[in-house]
Chain A
Amino acid sequence: MGDRQVAVVSAGFCEHASKRSDVNMAELVNEAVHNCLNNANCDIDAVDAIVAGNMPAFEGANLPELWMTDWLGARNKPLMRVTTGGSTGGSVAIAGYYNVAAGLPGIETVLTVAFEQQSCGNTSVGLSSVALGEISIVNALGLPAESAMRIFGAGAAIGIASYQAINYMNRSGCTEEDLARVVVQNRRNAAKNWWTHLKMPDYTIEQVMATPYISYPLRFGMVTPASDGACAMLYTTEEKAKDFADIPAYVNGVASVSHETAILGVGGAGAGQLDPCEQVGAVESAKLAYAQAGISFPEKEIDFAEVYSPFPNQELMWLERLGLFEENTAHLRYRDGTTAPNGELPVNCSGGVNSTNAIGASALERVAEAALQIMGKAGNQVPKTVHSAIGHGWGGCINLVTLTVLSDQPRRKWRAH
């Protein structure tokens, strides 16, 4: 941890949709940057450095931060890009945090931007380039390409979630209706938020259960969409924070932990875990981040959670691994309404990744929403006062977990200065 206390003072989004045909990638990013700066009542001169991030392979546009410099507002300013797969946004948030916390001379306010315009390219091809290394190794070991594609094709992004869902359902005894209930809550929350993609105010569990399976036990109505969108967030130091916002959200803990992949694994890639929903990486990152923030009882001290859950079973899984609910009880909390916006621990009030998934931006949106809930400016603001919140990200080759802990109070100073 750096010496400086860092605060989030503003966040901005652009409208998310499956095809933002009216803008190109640079203009899409610019919308979010403008929204962010307008919310903080400042202009680009206040920004000292910029961190950007996306997954270039998903759009087929290489090195975007270089050719959209002017749209990011990065002319004559330090700029760097971070890419870590699905958790790109979370890593961008952490990189932005450290840019401020490092205490470099002249760098106090940092703009973080994460974006993805999936309609430009083919995400499946981008993802398959991840699995292709594995498939080609199995192929070299003598398995015909056709059956290798059949076996590992089931292990792509959705396949990995269905393995987790099978094991989670086996472990906790939750049913498919429980998974549908999570989706319904997310999509209804999304309808109250201006920038989300799948707004479904009248979605019901019956409608979800009537859709066919995409990959057992996940149905068509449960899976995440592919969105175009961008998110921007403004960091600054504790001293400057009150100039930008009345209630800044202080960043009290950040952690990024990787762990072995759970499934795919012939060519030395992994397969160290037997149970795909074990997620040691999430447990470890939670330990690290909570220790930095001085949180001993996360289930009582955290008021709001934004977790990265493209598929409903992951939302249940992460909430348990991050220490917010007891093992195998998360689906019961959805039944009794604890996680609803007016409940005890509201979860994913923005609609979550389940309703909006611009891959690179998703994890940054989680941190941004958590910050906005503390600042009282979120699209779907919860009725209770939020004192501390978490924003979580997941991605890489299914094994990178990022976690950011935010609070309305600066970190308690344990060390004597």
Chain B
Amino acid sequence: MVRLEYIKKEYEKTRQMPGKWYLTSCRYKFNITRFQPFLSALKEKRLIGLKCRSCNTVSFPPKLVCGKCLTRPDQWVSLRETGIVATFTANYMKDETTGEANAFPVIAVRQDGADTTYLTQLNPKVKFEDVYVGMPVKIKWKDNTEGNLNDIDYYDCIDDPTQKMDSLTK
């Protein structure tokens, strides 16, 4: 446990009364039917995004309202399986058996052909130090797809052609 020293003032302790407010007991409504084409495509191991007819923005995962034009996009377009890392960070999870904190990368992927990002996980074997913005990644499907978001197992690294070109010029 790290402790940083700072100038502290001690305050008198007074009586405290416990109370409860269940903030996490809220219920959220979400209409799943408009997502159905997306989910059925996932079952066929295909990716589709929603394209706004007004500003041509393709959203993946599909967004039911375009924020720029305030319209309801209804044009489904196919996307490729590759993408690039738009941004990333590391998440620290405690291993329940050993008690050690393991870092694993969480990435936001911009799918090729789409204009928005999707938060997902990278191959857990990749170290987060090796990840960089603009890294090309490819989708890794589960063997048995069921038509939900869980069909995307994780994203895997692929060869970066731009880095090859850098080495050639050197």
Contact = CB atoms under 8 A, between A and B. Distances in A.
Interface of A: 15, 17, 19-24, 57, 60, 62, 121, 125-126, 128-129, 132-133, 136-138, 140-144, 147, 150-155, 159, 162-163, 166-167, 170, 187, 191, 198-201, 203, 207, 211-213, 215-216, 220-221, 260, 263-268, 270-272, 274-276
B133 A22 contact: no
29 contacts: A22-B13, A121-B21, A125-B24, A132-B24, A132-B26, A142-B149, A142-B151, A143-B149, A144-B150, A147-B121, A150-B104, A155-B106, A155-B119, A163-B87, A163-B89, A166-B89, A187-B6, A200-B4, A207-B4, A213-B90, A215-B90, A215-B92, A216-B89, A216-B90, A263-B117, A271-B116, A271-B117, A272-B68, A274-B116
Interface centre among B8, B65, B67 (most CB of A within 10 A): B67
The 9 closest A-B pairs by CB, nearest first: A142-B148, A154-B91, A199-B7, A216-B90, A162-B89, A22-B11, A22-B12, A143-B149, A154-B106
A265 B90 contact: no
Interface string B120-150: 1100000010001110000000000011111
Given A136-B28, A150-B121, A201 B7 contact: yes
Given A163-B108, A191-B7, A142 B91 contact: no
B164 interface: no
Contacts of A166: 87-89, 133
A117 to B, nearest CB: 12
Contacts of B89: 154, 159, 162-163, 166, 215-216
Given A142-B146, A166-B133, A271-B116, A21 B23 contact: no
B86 interface: yes
Query: Chain B interface secondary structure, helix, strand, loop or mixed?
Result: loop
B63 A268 contact: yes
A137 B121 contact: no
Nearest to A127: B23
A19 B8 CA distance: 11
Interface string B8-29: 1101111010011101101010
Nearest to A198: B6
B168 interface: no
Interface of B: 2, 4-9, 11-14, 16, 19-21, 23-24, 26, 28, 30, 32, 35, 39, 57, 59, 61, 63-65, 67-68, 86-93, 103-104, 106, 108, 110, 115-121, 128, 132-134, 146-151
Given A141-B149, A170-B133, A151 B120 contact: yes
Contacts of A264: 119
A141 B106 contact: no
Nearest to A140: B30
A20 B119 contact: no
Contact of B11 (A19, A153, A200, A207): A19
Contacts of B115: 274
Contacts of A57: 23
Contacts of A24: 14
Given A199-B7, A274-B115, A126 B23 contact: yes
Given A22-B12, A128-B24, A152-B119, A141 B63 contact: no
A151 B11 contact: no
Given A22-B11, A151-B120, A170-B133, 12 more contacts: A60-B21, A132-B26, A151-B91, A155-B119, A211-B2, A215-B92, A220-B2, A264-B119, A265-B61, A267-B30, A272-B116, A274-B110
